[in-house]
Amino acid sequence: MIGVLDSGLGGIVTLKYLLEQIPDTSFVCLADQANAPYGDKSNEQLFQIAKRHIKWFESQNVTTVLIACNTLCSTVLPQLRQEFPMMHLIDIVTLTCEDLMEEPLESLLLLATERSIQSGVYERKIQKSHPTCKVYPLAASQLVPLLEQNQPIEIIKKVLHEYLDEYQGKVQSVLLGCTHYPLVASEIEKIVSARTYDSRHAIVKAIPHEHLNQREVKIYTTLDAEQTQQQIADLLNMNDPVVQL
Ligand code: DGL
């Protein structure tokens, strides 16, 4: 069984893609909605939170965990790897940047959480592979809370316009550097008139296949199971049961 960890819906967005792409492998996804958003927390807070969850995966005999959270990957992942040397913790930021290497990027809006942008990890890796690409880093701190709180799409669109109007026609591509953002990818593409990239395509090749005849899917939330079940039905058309941890 492969673990998937995020602060909430971003992990389930990623899980949905993995379920479609890898039919023979079991997944256990932990959506830590009680602590969302991660994007405005300190590195110490993020480390303590993630440490608790990795321990939980360990207690479930899950030894491979996809860290489906750009914020954790760009901040505390090296510390987590030191703390859990026996666990295989998969880094979606590195995978995404490797996946982008062959893309002809000229100008890129890098949209991510405050902590991810502040870490500079994405920016450094992209500039290394694409030295002439003009990268515009933008922390879209309001987006994750709005998505997690099920705010109406009209409110979300208004906030997206506030963030993005100035980039319309200015960038050729947008990197969705947060696993929640694919939920509003089409709105972002419309406003900026540019194509979007995200982490989902990149991660598939890093997931070990289990070759099971029948797989299991478990989804846990640290908040309200009924609410999460409704959210994933509405936003992702998923009917898997959700259990409160
Ligand atoms: N979805 C996560 C990410 O990719 C975390 C977002 C948050 O909780 O702020 O960064």
pLDDT value, residue 99: 96
Burial of 60 (0-12, 13-18, 19+ CB in 10 A): middle
pLDDT value, residue 190: 97
Residue type, 139: A
C-alpha pair distances (Å), 10 with each of 118, 135, 155, 168, 201: 20, 23, 19, 25, 14
pLDDT in tens, the chain (245 residues): 999 999 999 999 999 999 999 999 999 999 999 999 999 999 999 999 999 999 999 999 999 999 999 999 999 999 999 999 999 999 999 999 999 999 999 999 999 999 999 999 999 999 999 999 999 999 999 999 999 999 999 999 999 999 999 999 999 999 999 999 999 999 999 999 999 999 999 999 999 999 999 999 999 999 999 999 999 999 999 999 999 99
For residue 6 and ligand 1, the question of a CB distance below 6 A is answered with yes
Choice from 5, 6, 116, 203 to test ligand 1 binding pocket (greatest atom count within 8 A of CB): 6
In sequence order, what E strands does the chain have? 2-6, 27-31, 64-67, 88-91, 107-112, 134-139, 173-176, 195-197, 217-221, 242-244
CB atoms closer than 10 angstroms to residue 172: 17
Contacts of 41 (CB under 8 A, 6+ apart): 35, 49, 115
For residue 180 and ligand 1, the question of a CB distance below 6 A is answered with yes
pLDDT value, residue 93: 98
For residue 11 and ligand 1, the question of a CB distance below 6 A is answered with no
pLDDT value, residue 195: 96
Q: What is the pTM of this model?
A: 0.97
Which residues are designated catalytic? 69, 178
pLDDT value, residue 103: 95
For residue 69 and ligand 1, the question of a CB distance below 6 A is answered with yes
For the CA of 11, the closest atom of ligand 1 is: 1
Spatial distance between the Cα atoms of 182 and 159, rounded to a whole number of angstroms: 16
